[in-house]
């Protein structure tokens, strides 16, 4: 992204934080706004989609210490100069535009001032155009000609994309469109998480003078799944069981993500919220493969037949006269 865009956009205001906000404050603000404006929460709402992209863009810059420092410097400069975020070709031209009254207030420079400024830009000392500050053919080094400057790397760019839960888990090749209208194809690695930033080498802006292209910093948002959740490299799932299965124990079938169901043993006397672990059925990344974490929820029948009511009455009559809340009441009175 060009720093002119940075000058025109107040990323702190977009996230609703102060300019000295901590990393944790930035993350909290981003997560809240991303949830509020996420496309899944606002289907068919172009304004919410625009705000979601603005929030993602703002966090992408401010969450990176180097980008944030550069953004703060650009914002502090005021109007006129335009620089790229990583030294692209437009920076030099626009720096001179600001000096010689192109699009800004008139400024006066003495020969000595200009000499010192140009000397620092072209690698010379206070002498400016002294020995060592030119490349071949008598031109200043750094213009892409053979000399001490050489070809420059293209500037880094930022982008955001929303992936399905399955794409984030398995990885895939997706097509993106840059702000300049370029279409690029990138490979999303398996196991990316919601809010993660991926650096894609060589997918940024092309070099202005034959150097290597810049990188693309891709901010990823992941849509939720109706059944599975994620906890690091583990997948999570809530599985309902009957009262009888929880009380007496049972073997139940549990779905897995992208695979065949597995059978899980529910221990007798299981309580609602009990967690069971299925090894090796989580997310596969370079770190390894996580597990499937199963949380049991006891399903209470909403309709009882006469026979069920009679059996339940008999069960209640045979149960000891105690309350499961006795321990809760006792602990609640502790200081």
- CB contact set of 246 (below 8 Å; sequence gap of 6+): 266, 269, 270, 271, 272, 296, 298
CB 264 within 8 A of CB 207: no
For 203, phi and psi rounded to 5 degrees?
Answer: -105, 10
pLDDT in tens, 14-67: 999 998 899 889 989 988 898 888 877 888 888 888 888 888 888 888 988 888
| pTM of the complete model | 0.52
pLDDT tens track for 225-240: 999 999 999 999 999 9
Lowest mean pLDDT among 90-99, 198-207, 244-253: 90-99
**Dihedral-angle region of residue 222 (phi above 0 means left; psi in -120 to 50 means alpha; beta otherwise):** beta
pLDDT for res 249 = 95
Quote the tokens at residue 114.
Answer: 């200009």
Mean of pLDDT over the chain: 78
The pLDDT of residue 306 is: 93
Domains of the chain plus CATH, in order, are 3-122 (1.10.287.110), 157-222 (2.60.260.20), 229-332 (2.60.260.20)
State how far the Cα of 220 lies from the Cα of 63, in Å rounded to an integer: 14
Q: Which residues of 128-163 are buried (b: 16+ CB within 10 A; e: fewer)?
A: beeeebbbeeeebbbbbbebebeebbbbbbbbbbbb
**pLDDT mean over 304-309:** 91
Among 89-98, 102-111, 233-242, 312-321, the range with the most confident prediction by mean pLDDT is 233-242
The larger pLDDT score, comparing residue 121 to residue 9, is at 9
What DSSP assignment string belongs to 101-159?
TSSS------HHHHHHHHHHHTT--TTSSSTTSB-GGG-BTTSSSTTTT-PPPPPPEEE
- pLDDT tens digits, residue range 195-222? 999 888 888 888 888 889 999 888 999 9
The Cα-based distances of 204 to 143, 175, 182, 186, 316 in angstroms read 21, 14, 10, 11, 69
Decide: 85 and 35 in contact? Cβ < 8 Å. no
Give the pLDDT score at 184.
82
Output the pLDDT for position 191: 92
97-130 pLDDT per residue, tens = 444 444 444 344 444 444 444 444 444 444 333 3
Q: What is the pLDDT of residues 150-178, one digit of tens each?
A: 788 988 888 888 999 999 999 998 888 76
Does the structure show a pLDDT above 80 at 283? yes
pLDDT at site 102:
40
Tokens of 16: 């609703």
* More confident site: 186 or 237: 237
């Amino acid at each position: 992204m060009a720093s002119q865009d940075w000058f025109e956009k107040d990323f702190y205001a977009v996230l609703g934080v102060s300019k000295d906000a901590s990393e944790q404050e930035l993350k909290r603000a981003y997560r809240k706004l991303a949830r509020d404006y996420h496309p899944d929460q606002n289907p068919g709402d172009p304004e919410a989609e625009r705000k979601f992209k603005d929030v993602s863009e703002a966090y992408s810059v401010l969450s990176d210490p180097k980008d944030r420092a550069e953004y703060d410097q650009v914002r502090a400069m005021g109007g006129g100069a335009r620089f790229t975020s990583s030294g692209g070709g437009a920076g030099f031209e626009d720096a001179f535009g600001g000096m010689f009254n192109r699009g800004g207030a008139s400024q006066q420079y003495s020969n000595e001032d200009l000499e010192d400024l140009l000397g620092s830009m072209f690698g010379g000392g206070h002498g400016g155009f002294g020995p060592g500050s030119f490349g071949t053919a008598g031109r200043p080094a750094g213009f892409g000609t053979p000399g001490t400057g050489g070809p420059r790397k293209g500037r880094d760019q930022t982008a955001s994309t929303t992936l399905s839960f399955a794409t984030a888990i398995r990885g895939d090749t997706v097509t993106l469109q840059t702000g300049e209208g370029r279409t690029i194809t990138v490979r999303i690695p398996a196991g990316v998480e919601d809010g993660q930033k991926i650096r894609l080498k060589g997918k940024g802006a092309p070099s202005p003078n034959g150097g290597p292209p810049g990188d693309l910093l891709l901010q990823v948002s992941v849509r939720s799944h109706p059944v599975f959740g994620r906890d690091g490299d583990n997948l999570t799932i809530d599985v309902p069981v009957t009262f009888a299965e929880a009380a007496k124990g049972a073997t139940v079938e549990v779905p897995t993500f992208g695979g065949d169901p597995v059978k899980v043993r529910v221990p007798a006397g299981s309580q609602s919220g009990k967690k069971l672990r299925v090894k090796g059925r989580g997310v596969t990344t370079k770190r390894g493969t996580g597990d499937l974490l199963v949380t049991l929820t006891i399903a209470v029948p909403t309709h009882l037949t006469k026979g069920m009511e009679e059996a339940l009455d008999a069960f209640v009559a045979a149960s000891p006269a105690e309350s499961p809340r006795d321990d809760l009441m006792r602990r609640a009175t502790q200081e």
